[in-house]
Amino acid sequence: MLPASGLLLLAACFGLTALVIQYLLVLRHRRDVAPLLPVGAPRPGISILKPLCGVDDDLEASLELFARLDYAGAYEVVLGVKDVRDSAFAVARAAVARWPGVMRLEVQEGAPGLNPKVNQLVTLADRARFDILVISDSNTRVSAGYLEELAAAFADPSVGCVTHPVAGLGERSFGSLLDNLYLASSAAAGMIAAKRLAGQDIVVGKSMALRREDVDAMGGFFAVKDVLAEDYVIGQWVTRKLGRRVVVARTPVFNVSLRKSVKAFFQRYLRWSVIHRTAVSPSTYLAQSLLNPVPLALLGALLFPSPTTGMVAMAVAVGKVAVDLATCRALRQESLSWDAVPGVLVKDALLFLTWWHGVFFRTVDWRGTKLRVAAGTRLVPPRAPASVPERTLDAGEALLAGDLAS
């Protein structure tokens, strides 16, 4: 077992080194000064599209922040619900009554596709008044200068999309702590490192801004109505179909997670594992496992128990906890509690299981509906045959050929 043990320990050390580099890139990204337009320069009108589904944690407070953004131009917040039976409808209606000059409420018309969020975006984009469209999830909070940074980015005509790193905040349960740790230390850090180190665009739908003319050129949101990872696909299309750039903003946005259970955390990332696996090639998915080095190190030590392998596994575990906590501190506003240390290890153990789930399964349970995910994260009903090749298309090859837009 010595060769297998050594290989696993070597892979774990390599993964930890990659995470340290990723952390350094996060620090560099955060230290860069966000570009801003000069005082008095014209600002574009901005429509913030906010699809709602149920009452997320502290939804009222999150909406209030969007009603009070510091922006020298005109903007609106267009709230959307699937229908009036949604529990978010009353909250949204109260927000419109409180801030009628900023907020509007729209009820979804029809259900053109299998992605429920995109179904709402089709209606919201049609009703929006301005030409810069910002997609913002209901449980997202932003800084006061959020729109100013977006406007400055779009002053460059080569920019086609602006997205933001996402950190989590507000945890009051262990499950929410796991969620918030993952968002900052893995999701946000990964998108920053991918952009700065490899020039790869990972667009996150928690905060995604586009010009209306570019959305229309891609076929509108209707073109991704049957795609699970519509944000990732749109990011690919912006660069490869439109020839424009994707910008990762300097300032993170924040996902509010207060009382999520550990079970809910695990179920969410079971779904995400299927997204990751069907969005990238097998080799890329395999490489992603290196960024979770603690399980690899522990397996290596168990295959060949010795003081040396035990010390290496312990060093990897300590290093992973330190890097995760440091990355979180670099991105989020709140300090972490003492249970973040065991939280990193529990998170990584659960994510190791979800990674294996992505290897073998292609079905997700999303908002009460079971759907099969084919190559390029295309959604198909579970009983319908997935008329796609068995090979997972690398980097959205099928998407870039335009097959999903047809």
Q: Which two tokens stand for residue 289?
A: 């496992």
The residue among 200, 233, 260 that closes a domain is: 260
> Is pLDDT at 147 greater than 70 in this prediction?
yes
107: left (phi over 0), alpha (psi -120 to 50) or beta: beta
Q: Give the pLDDT confidence of 246-272 residue by residue, as tens digits.
A: 999 999 999 999 999 999 999 999 999
Are residues 159 and 39 located together in one domain of the fold? yes
Say which range, 25-29, 83-87, 331-335, has the weakest mean pLDDT.
Answer: 331-335
Determine the average pLDDT of the residues in 197-208. Answer: 92
Residue 307 lies in a domain: yes
Q: What is the DSSP letter of 336?
A: P
Q: Provide the CATH number for the domain around residue 250.
A: 3.90.550.10
**The predicted structure's pLDDT at residue 211:** 97
Are residues 240 and 270 located together in one domain of the fold? no
The residue among 242, 260, 278 that closes a domain is: 260
- The C-alpha atoms of residue 359 and residue 350 are separated, in whole angstroms, by 15
pLDDT band at 371 (very low <50, low <70, confident <90, very high): confident
**The predicted structure's pLDDT at residue 393:** 37
Q: How many domains does the chain have?
A: 2
Are residues 127 and 9 located together in one domain of the fold? no
**The predicted structure's pLDDT at residue 70:** 93
**The predicted structure's pLDDT at residue 367:** 65
List % helix, strand, coil for the chain (3-state, nearest 5).
50, 15, 35
Residue 7 lies in a domain: yes
Residue 378 backbone dihedrals phi, psi, to 5 degrees: -70, 135
Q: Which two tokens stand for residue 257?
A: 């997670």
Give Cα 333 distance to the centre of its chain.
18
> Is pLDDT at 334 greater than 80 in this prediction?
yes
Q: Give the pLDDT confidence of 150-197 residue by residue, as tens digits.
A: 999 999 999 999 999 999 999 999 999 999 999 999 999 999 999 999
Residue 351 lies in a domain: yes
Are residues 236 and 268 located together in one domain of the fold? no
**The predicted structure's pLDDT at residue 132:** 98
> Is pLDDT at 1 greater than 70 in this prediction?
no
> Is pLDDT at 392 greater than 80 in this prediction?
no
**The predicted structure's pLDDT at residue 35:** 84
**The predicted structure's pLDDT at residue 398:** 41
Residue 396 lies in a domain: no
Please tell me whether the overall predicted TM-score, pTM, comes out greater than 0.75 for this model. Answer: yes
Are residues 197 and 88 located together in one domain of the fold? yes
> How does strand 46-51 pair with strand 75-81?
parallel
Q: Which two tokens stand for residue 374?
A: 């084919």
> Is pLDDT at 406 greater than 70 in this prediction?
no
Residue 162 lies in a domain: yes
The rounded percent of the chain whose pLDDT value lies above 70 is 93
Residue 397 lies in a domain: no
Are residues 83 and 188 located together in one domain of the fold? yes
Supply the range of the domain harboring residue 53.
Answer: 33-260
User: Which range, 31-35, 106-110, 196-200, 376-380, has the best average confidence (pLDDT)?
Assistant: 106-110
Determine the average pLDDT of the residues in 2-25. Answer: 95
Are residues 157 and 302 located together in one domain of the fold? no
- The C-alpha atoms of residue 258 and residue 175 are separated, in whole angstroms, by 9
- The C-alpha atoms of residue 196 and residue 208 are separated, in whole angstroms, by 18
**The predicted structure's pLDDT at residue 34:** 82
